[in-house]
Amino acid sequence: MQLALGVETAHNFMVDAAAAGLFAVFQGLTGPFIGVIAVRRGAVPWEIGWLTAVPAAALLLSSWYARLGEGRRKKPLVVLTSAIGRLFLLLTGWAHGMAAYLISFSAFNVVSAAGSPAYTAIEREIYHQRWRGRLMAGVRFVLGFCQFATVLLAGGLLDRFGVGPVFTAAVALGVGSALVFGLLHEPPPRAQVSGRRVSPLGLLRADPRLARMILAVTLVGGANFFVSPGYPIDWVQRMHLSDIQVAWISAAWALAWMVCYPLWGRLVDRRRPASALLGGLFCYLGPPLLYAFGVHFAGAVLASWIQGMGDSALDVGWQNHVMRLGGDRVGQYAGVYFTFLGARGTIMPILGSLVIAGFGLRPLFVLGLAQIACGLYVARRLPDHELPVGGPGATLAA
């Protein structure tokens, strides 16, 4: 591998993959159970909506976070925010009362989100475009495999040891993941792109290619967030699933991510990122359609598999798409994506929880399907061609 990629790239790939593997164990022990634990502790629909929304709400400052990394090394920002943020989840594991549970989980997400644009920019720098899709896929394959293996054990561990001890072990591995990422060899920072800094809306006005992609993903991804509070409520209140059954549902997601990510990555390298992006958006039709028909455990597992297919395609698709669109401005472009991810991920789960409280679960899933259909119409052609001279680089110049 070193002969094909070079020693530096091979080293960074191994470090990135090792950090991703540890993160996957951390995530597998905690993430799938946040909503379920809350429902069992008596959380009402708006509190489930809050837990669903807060990871995305933390991204609303992404454009500002992106500026923190401009013209300087980004690795320290990723390591520091990841390590500190994951420590807050320790408080979530031992929280008494729903208020403490919500606050500590919110703090974990707000601090952790600060490194997201920087991580996207780092991946562009350490992986050449010729190999980038497949190398990213390799890292995500490790992530998916480790999360798949972990969630199969996590339900039994929670039943046996309880939330506090399991979350404590998870946090130790999560902090270890951040420290391992610190071994990455980051290239020297490039000179800052000339031109004034602009708001996300200003960048969207300057680059219609980015605006079309953001609109499509906001519609489809927003619908995905809209229906998401319904899943844990359905599992607990209608299906009466055990922790082990919830773990199997999460394992199906991780397995789909692990299997499909390399396929999407190869598609990105051989064709264009927009192809993977569109495939992922189309997959989002599956889960709400199945839940609208009142599926039980086997159908929930299938829905989770389809969700994993869509999430893996969207992840590799949007990142490579903005890398192609943004060039040296990739940090700013990623910041715009994360900002709108934060907006839809904050608003839509809250709206979904209100629909559940007022009308029930089935109307929630039907409305989500209608919005996804609108987003797919917008996404049918996503341009990623080069802009002519006078495009966003010139438009935004000082």
Which pLDDT tens digit goes with each residue over 198-249?
677 788 888 888 888 899 999 999 999 999 989 988 998 889 888 788 888 9
Task: Work out how many domains the chain is built from and give that number.
Answer: 1
Structure tokens at 17: 């993959």
Structure tokens at 393: 């680089």
The C-alpha angle 174, 312, 325, rounded to 5 degrees, equals 105
Q: So what's the pLDDT on residue 302?
A: 96
Give the HSE-up count for residue 250: Cα atoms under 13 Å, Cβ half-sphere.
31
Q: So what's the pLDDT on residue 307?
A: 96
Phi, psi for residue 16 in degrees, rounded to 5 = -60, -45
Answer yes or no: is 191 within a domain. no
Q: So what's the pLDDT on residue 135?
A: 86
CA gap 251, 263 in Å, rounded: 19
Answer yes or no: is 398 within a domain. no
Which residues have CB under 8 Å from 204's CB, separation 6+?
210, 211, 214, 336
Which residues span the domain enclosing 27?
Answer: 2-186+198-393
| CB 42, CB 97: distance < 8 Å | no
* CA dist list (Å): 8 to 35, 123, 224, 309, 347: 41, 13, 38, 31, 42
Q: So what's the pLDDT on residue 390?
A: 46
3 state SS for the chain: CHHHHCHHHHHHHHHHHHHHHHHHHHHHHHHHHHHHHHHHCCCCHHHHHHHHHHHHHHHHHHHHHHHHCCCCCCHHHHHHHHHHHHHHHHHHHCCCCHHHHHHHHHHHHHHHHHHHHHHHHHHHHHCCCCCHHHHHHHHHHHHHHHHHHHHHHHHHHHHHHCHHHHHHHHHHHHHHHHHHHCCCCCCCCCCCCCCCCCCHHHHHHHCHHHHHHHHHHHHHHHHHHHHCCHHHHHHHHHHCCCHHHHHHHHHHHHHHHHHHHHHHHHHHHHCCHHHHHHHHHHHCCHHHHHHHCCCCHHHHHHHHHHHHHHHHHHHHHHHHHHHHHHHHHHHHHHHHHHHHHHHHHHHHHHHHHHHHHHHCHHHHHHHHHHHHHHHHHHCCCCCCCCCCCCCHHHHCCC
Residues of the chain with confidence (pLDDT) below 50 = 1-3, 193-194, 388-398
Structure tokens at 262: 């390399």
The C-alpha angle 306, 322, 15, rounded to 5 degrees, equals 75
Q: So what's the pLDDT on residue 5?
A: 62
| CATH number, domain with residue 329 | 1.20.1250.20
Answer yes or no: is 192 within a domain. no
| CB 60, CB 109: distance < 8 Å | no
Q: Is 129 left (phi over 0), alpha (psi -120 to 50) or beta?
A: alpha
Q: So what's the pLDDT on residue 287?
A: 96
Answer yes or no: is 61 within a domain. yes
Answer yes or no: is 142 within a domain. yes
CA gap 201, 193 in Å, rounded: 19
Q: So what's the pLDDT on residue 393?
A: 46
Answer yes or no: is 173 within a domain. yes
CA gap 65, 331 in Å, rounded: 9
| CB 106, CB 115: distance < 8 Å | no
Residue located via tokens 């089935």:
362
Residue located via tokens 């599956």:
286
